[in-house]
């Protein structure tokens, strides 16, 4: 039987990528990935065990010390640029896999793969700019400096909604920092990350630097989070799973960043450009079938324009073209997984039962594939489940507000704090609102824009830490402080000196009084 990535034939075959080779899992178990548009399995994927995960972690640990270390920042950056070239050259291939695995509309999938290359290039540029500093220690006997070192093996745990892009958020800074990685893709969408491994291999990364361990069991993610030899977990997924990840990693003092769920408000004032605002709301909740962590699924509209805004939004929902995600004219593809489709259906039905008005959509589409019709809901209260819980589908709840203060109160009345959209032409108001909104990202007169240069992450239960931006690389580095005694003298082991004046005196009297430094008293 052929091994590795086999894309000929009707059922594609993807094996694990561990220690620089594609290999079947130790127990030869496999699972199928279902295309949400055809509802048919389209790929068979290696189903790894916890033992396979151990092998991958050990390979990643070894790789930290090998050729990867000697490459240096410039060498790592060069490999990252080579990988970005390969991603760009094979954009259509990777996007097609993402579409088969996840149902992502092809033009969106292509745009996201292009972003993967952009992320790699941005962080490649930082790889040779990692610097410690010399600390101007007041005591002349010591030369003190800091070094920035890779944190170690990184475990990346991915969700199903944007596997490659969310991998790039983690992989690009991790590689630039000199870390190695074991990736656990979602059990629903493992194929694109395994296919991506081909290009990592082709780019010439040393064996063990990048490993992919796919599996059907959620236990595999749990084992990665708890793995004592994994120094850092970069997790994107639901808030509930993120809490388990954080607890598991804390048992071995593992570092964690969590990019979790959201219930992001889009706030539309009467003075906004309404066409642009409707467009932004559509982009925020109907694009990607609403399967975005930052979906703007609560729209707060100033009372005076509420009805006109809702009419326009309903019109746009009805015009949206659902269909084959490979068709360039399709706007909305299927929901990625059947359980997710059922979850959306249940949340919308429950809201109708509790008195909400479903103005359009509101049901599973009769066409084949896991489609949910774009849905606009009104007549809901702040405490309603549909207003509080993440739907992760093309479903938006619209609520009116009277005053700016009311909009802020409603916007912040959520356990989440990932993103918010603000639509107004009043600059003073925009600044006031930005100041008061509790969210990691506020888009003003725009929505769903991202860049490797701009930090992204959540407040409150939407997460811990930030991905992207110059500082993201720091999450993959540790600081080591180095003290060097350059005096050549010996010190009194029982004497603690604690003031700089005392210590500068000690410098001059070193021979007679060898006490030096503000000695650490534990
Ligand atoms: P999920 O939490 O169910 O699963 C995410 C990953 O965690 C999967 O790979 C899964 O196998 C793994 N996992 C499951 N149990 C685990 C455990 N106990 N320990 C460790 N790993 C475990 O999330 P999902 O359904 O795949 O993705 C949707 C969620 O992701 C939504 O809540 C969405 O908001 C969130 N999300 C957040 C962002 C962000 O950047 N903030 C981006 C995309 C998605």
All domains of the chain, ordered by start, with CATH? 5-259+469-477 (3.40.605.10), 265-451 (3.40.309.10)
Measured N-to-C along each axis, helices 427-436 and 404-412 cross at an angle, to the nearest 10 degrees, of: 30
Ligand 1 centre distance from Cα of residue 468 (Å): 19
Q: In terms of DSSP H, where are the helices of 49-125?
A: 50-65, 67-89, 91-102, 106-124
Check 98, 259, 373, 390 and give the catalytic one: 259
Residue 521 confidence (pLDDT) above 60? no
Residue 164 confidence (pLDDT) above 60? yes
- Written as six digits, the tokens of 154 are 């990184």
**Per-residue pLDDT, 174:** 98
pLDDT, tens digit, 9 for 90 and up, residues 173-215: 999 999 999 999 999 999 999 999 999 999 999 999 999 999 9
Contact 191, 101 (CB under 8 A): yes
Ligand 1 centre distance from Cα of residue 238 (Å): 4
Check 187, 293, 302, 389 and give the catalytic one: 293
Rounded average pLDDT over 435-463 = 98
Rounded average pLDDT over 288-312 = 98
Contact 154, 29 (CB under 8 A): no
Ligand 1 centre distance from Cα of residue 190 (Å): 13
CA angle 399, 401, 407 (to 5 degrees): 100
Q: What is the DSSP string of 110-177?
A: HHHHHHHHHHHHHHHTTGGG----EE--S-TTEEEEEEEEE--EEEEE--SSSHHHHHHHHHHHHHHH
Instruction: Report the C-alpha gap between 391 and 116 in whole angstroms.
Output: 26
Mark whether 293 is an active-site residue: yes
Rounded average pLDDT over 472-488 = 95
More confident: 175 or 9? 175
Give, as one character, the DSSP assignment of residue 188.
Answer: S
pLDDT, tens digit, 9 for 90 and up, residues 367-418: 999 999 999 999 999 999 999 999 999 999 999 999 999 999 999 999 999 9
Residue 499 confidence (pLDDT) above 80? no
Ligand 1 centre distance from Cα of residue 443 (Å): 24
**Per-residue pLDDT, 3:** 64
Pocket residue to mutate for ligand 1, from 237, 258, 342, 460, most atoms within 8 A of Cβ: 237
pLDDT band at residue 2 under the 50/70/90 scheme? low
- Answer yes or no: is the C-beta of 158 below 6 A from any ligand 1 atom: yes
Instruction: Report the C-alpha gap between 46 and 439 in whole angstroms.
Output: 39
What percentage of the chain has pLDDT greater than the value 70? 94
- Answer yes or no: is the C-beta of 290 below 6 A from any ligand 1 atom: no
- Answer yes or no: is the C-beta of 261 below 6 A from any ligand 1 atom: yes
- Answer yes or no: is the C-beta of 159 below 6 A from any ligand 1 atom: yes
Rounded average pLDDT over 507-516 = 42
Mark whether 259 is an active-site residue: yes
């Amino acid at each position: 039987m052929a091994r590795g990535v086999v894309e000929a034939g009707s059922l594609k075959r993807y094996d694990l990528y561990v220690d620089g080779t594609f290999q079947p899992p130790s127990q030869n178990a496999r699972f199928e990935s279902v295309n949400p548009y055809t509802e048919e399995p389209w790929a068979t994927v290696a189903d790894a065990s916890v033992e396979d995960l151990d092998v991958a972690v050990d390979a990643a640990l070894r790789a930290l010390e090998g050729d990867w270390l000697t490459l240096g920042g410039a060498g790592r950056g060069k490999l990252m640029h080579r990988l970005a070239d390969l991603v760009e050259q094979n954009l259509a291939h990777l996007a097609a896999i993402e579409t088969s695995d996840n149902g992502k509309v092809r033009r969106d999938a292509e745009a996201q793969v292009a972003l993967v290359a952009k992320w790699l290039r941005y962080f490649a540029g930082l790889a040779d700019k990692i610097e410690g500093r010399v600390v101007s220690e007041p005591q002349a006997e010591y030369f003190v400096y800091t070094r920035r070192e890779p944190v170690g093996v990184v475990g990346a745990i991915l969700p199903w909604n944007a596997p490659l892009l969310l991998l790039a958020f983690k992989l690009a800074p991790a590689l630039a920092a000199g870390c190695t990685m074991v990736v656990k893709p979602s059990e629903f969408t493992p194929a694109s990350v395994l296919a991506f491994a081909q290009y990592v291999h082709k780019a010439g990364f040393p064996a063990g630097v990048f490993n992919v361990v796919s599996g059907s069991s959620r236990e595999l993610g749990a084992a990665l989070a708890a793995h004592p030899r994994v120094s850092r977990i970069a997790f994107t997924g639901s808030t509930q799973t993120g809490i388990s990840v954080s607890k598991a990693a804390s048992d071995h003092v593992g570092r964690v960043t969590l990019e979790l769920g959201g219930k992001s408000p889009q706030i539309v004032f009467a003075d906004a450009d309404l066409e642009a605002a409707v467009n932004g709301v559509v982009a925020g909740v109907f694009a990607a079938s609403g399967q975005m962590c930052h979906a703007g699924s609560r729209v707060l509209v100033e009372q005076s324009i509420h009805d006109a805004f809702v009419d326009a939004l309903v019109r746009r929902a009805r015009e949206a073209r659902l269909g084959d995600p490979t068709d360039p004219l399709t706007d909305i593809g299927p929901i990625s997984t059947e359980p997710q489709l059922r979850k959306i259906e249940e949340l919308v039905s429950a809201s109708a039962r509790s008195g909400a008005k479903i103005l359009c959509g509101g049901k599973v589409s009769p066409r084949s594939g896991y489609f949910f019709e774009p849905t606009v809901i009104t007549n809901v209260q702040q405490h309603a489940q549909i207003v509080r819980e993440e739907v992760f589908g093309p479903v938006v709840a619209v609520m009116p507000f009277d005053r700016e203060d009311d909009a802020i109160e409603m916007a912040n009345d959520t356990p989440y704090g990932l993103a918010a959209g603000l639509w107004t032409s009043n600059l003073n108001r925009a600044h006031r609102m930005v100041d008061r909104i509790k969210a990691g990202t506020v888009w003003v007169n725009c929505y769903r824009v991202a860049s490797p240069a701009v930090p992204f992450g959540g407040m409150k239960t939407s997460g811990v830490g930030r991905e992207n931006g110059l500082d993201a690389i720091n999450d993959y580095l540790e600081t080591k402080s180095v003290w060097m005694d350059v005096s050549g003298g010996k010190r009194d082991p029982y004497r603690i000196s604690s003031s700089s004046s005392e210590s500068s005196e000690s410098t001059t009297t070193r021979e007679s009084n060898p006490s030096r430094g503000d000695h650490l008293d534990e």
